[in-house]
Amino acid sequence: MAPDVSCFLLALLCSASCEVIISLDQTCIEEEANKTYNCENLGLREIPDTLSNATEILDFSFNFLPAIQNRTFSRLINLTFLDLTRCQINWIHEDTFESHCQLSTLVLTGNPLIFMAETALKGPRTLKHLFLIQTGISNLEFIPVHNLENLESLYLGSNQISSIKFPKDFPTWNLKVLDFQNNAIRYLSREDMNSVESTNLSLNFNGNDIKGVEPGAFSSIVFQSLNFGGTSNLSVIFNGLQNSTIQSLWLGTFEDTSNQDISSSMLKGLCDMSVGSLNLQKNRFSDFTASTFQCFTRLWELDLTATHLEELPPGIEGMNLLKRLVLSGNKFDQLCQINAANFSSLTHLYIKGNKKKLHLGAACLEKLKNLQKLDLSHDDIEASDCCNPQLKGLIRLQSLNLSRNAPLGLQSQAFRECPRLEILDLAFTQLHVDASQSPFQDLHFLKVLNLSHCTLDTSNQHLLEGLADLRHLDFSGNSFQDRTIPKTNLLQTVGSVEILILSFCDLLSIDPQAFHSLGNISHIDLSHNSLTCNSIDSLSHLKGIYLNLAANSIGIIPAHLLPVLSQQSTINLSQNPLDCTCSNVNFLTWYRENLQKLEGLEGTVCANPPDLRGVELSAVQLSCGMTTLGIFFLIVFLFLFTILLIFAAQYVLRRKYQHI
């Protein structure tokens, strides 16, 4: 029996040692040396010894700390950010953060708090951000008021709070953000509002169905932003906000909340308050006429995203302060249906993701002389001759987004109407450009051009002509004839480009002279092609650039190409079938010596020989002199050769002198 018991003990010991190994396996991730650690999801019951005493930022979420007290974090006195999300904390005892003078952010989201001691938050000299989301709080008295004088943001979402009345001694004067999302607040009284002393506050009541506001509760208060998202009756809000001043008012609703339609008479309430920016997303209007807008005259921003609009009425007056208009996600047929002339001062217009095919018509935005930014992406726009008739009169336009639309046909000087364009995004919109046309001609100020996945004809040498100041060209996802960029190519006309993206172009090779006219390049992305080392020659005149060659077909890089790589500042060679045999030994040595220049080290692995497949290049050590076996055979061969020579000499001598 005795041996069995000893065996069992041995097994137990072994099991204990196994557990040690496993717990060692689950250590925190050091994101910044001695400073930032991530210990998420490790089931830890205490701060591990492996953390440096100098830790400043600690994500300790999803661990297990039923009670936290003075000694729990006492070692980490430099903490500035502490995330204790969902650590099953029930108790926060006296003086838990006493020694943490620097702590400025404390996250306690999702903990079933039973009690916080009166001095629980004492210690930090500038505690600025406190997250008490979903901690079961039903009464604001629960939060210990001690040491909250510097508090700037207080997040109290998803609790059972029904009144926002703060206790008398609660220091609210520095608050900038007060978040009451998803609580049970039904009524806002004058007394409630008076308990908050700060001005320029951002107050969030999203997901509280407010049924009543005491008249005058918000009067003569200035707010940075107010959010009543998802409230079922907006009349209550409009009445309650009389005489208030609000920078940004969010009154949107959601797919899953049912609320009353907005009528023009409800919106009259806006005349009695001062609002800068108004969001009404996903609301439905019971009547939508020019009078709907009669109290919008002081707005500088109006967001009507997904408000089921088919047109905006003509004859709206007094909207000359409006600078930004968002009409995305609606159901317009024609661009002219927005009656742009109503909003002649607009600088920004967003109509993206229209639910119907949008027809641009002609000169629909002609009156928008000040328009600087226009977003018409995801609109299924189709035009055989774009874009001068459509964009007529937009002389100040700086940024145009036509990405993700149906095919567009571009002629020469297609953007002549918008000579001041600086950013043009045409990504994922098929472009038809006739041979030797230059659609971007005369865009002298254009700095950023996104032509990714436009199925362009890259044999057209004149395609990019006239872009004197272009800095950033995204040309990814277009294909080249014979899968090669030849010596004479369309990039020769854009000599000022600094950032060039040619990923996913299905390239096999690049002519050594192909980039010769590009002298200003600082960033070139050639990833996701089928390039081999031969194409590296085309970069020999470039110095100090960021070079991305990831996901290509580079196996061996011969010694004469290594100086080309050496002169660049950052190189990514990950996901290439790199050769780790002696035929690539020069490159392998270079790689180990230049690790500080390389990016994506963990993805840079050997493909050859089979026994090194998947091994990180930085871990490979080759000795490529002659192998021991080779030396052995050479010695044996030399030895045999010498013996043979001796025998031969003996034989010759014997033959020569045998007759003597």
Partner 1 sequence: MKGFPAVLLIWTLISPSSSGGGSGEAWPTHVACRNGGLEVLYQSCDPLQDFGFSMDQCSKHLKSNLNIKFGIILRHDIKELFLDIALISKGSSILNFSYPICEEDQPKFSFCGRRKGEQIYYAGPVNNPGVDIPEGEYQVLLEVYTENRSIVACANATIICS
Furthest C-alpha separation in the chain: 142
CB of 131 to partner 1, least distance (A): 7
In the chain the first and final C-alpha atoms are separated, in Å, by 94
- Region label for 612, one of left (φ > 0), alpha (ψ between -120 and 50) or beta (otherwise): alpha
Q: Which is nearer to partner 1, 254 or 647 (CB)?
A: 254
Residue 179 beta carbon to partner 1: minimum distance, rounded to whole angstroms: 10
211 token code pair: 């049924």
Choice between 159 and 584, CB closer to partner 1: 159
User: By the 8 A CB rule, do 113 and 92 touch?
Assistant: yes
Contact positions vs partner 1 (CB under 8 A): 3-4, 7-8, 10-11, 14-15, 18-19, 22, 25, 41, 61-62, 85-86, 107, 109-110, 131, 133-134, 155, 157-158, 181-182, 206-207, 229-230, 252, 254-257, 281-282, 303, 305-306, 326, 328-329, 350
Indicate the residue among 195 and 399 with the shorter CB distance to partner 1.
399
Q: How far is CA 615 from CA 541, 569, 611, in A?
A: 32, 25, 9
Q: What's the distance, CA 573 to chain centroid?
A: 23
As a whole number of angstroms, the distance between CA 206 and CA 227 comes to 6
C-alpha 491/C-alpha 513 separation (Å) is 11
Nearest approach in angstroms of CB 352 to partner 1 is 9
Nearer to partner 1, 182 or 354 (CB): 182
Closest CB to partner 1 among residues 182, 493: 182
- Shortest separation between residue 281's beta carbon and partner 1, angstroms: 6
The residue (of 8 and 639) whose beta carbon lies closer to partner 1 is: 8
Concatenated DSSP letters for 310-378?
S---S---S-TT--EEE-TT---SBGGGG-GGGGTT-SEEE--S-SSPPB--SSTTTT-TT--EEE-TT
Minimal distance, residue 626 CB to partner 1, in Å: 44
CA distance 210 to 257: 13
Cβ-based nearer residue to partner 1, 138 or 583: 138
CB of 41 to partner 1, least distance (A): 6
The torsion angles phi and psi of 590, rounded to 5 degrees, stand at -60, -40
Q: Are 159 and 183 in contact (CB under 8 A)?
A: yes
- Rounded to a whole number of angstroms, the minimum distance from the CB of residue 22 to partner 1 is 5
Among 357, 474, 461, which Cα is nearest to 427's? 474
Task: Tell me how far, at minimum, the Cβ of 300 lies from partner 1, in Å.
Answer: 17
Residue with Cβ nearer partner 1 (338 or 431): 338
165 vs 282, which CB is nearer to partner 1? 282
Q: Which of 506, 501, 498, 508 is nearest to 542 (CA)?
A: 498
- Compute the least distance from the CB of residue 464 to partner 1, in Å: 31
CA 290 to chain centre: 40
What is the residue type of 462?
Answer: H
29-32/36-38 β-pairing: antiparallel
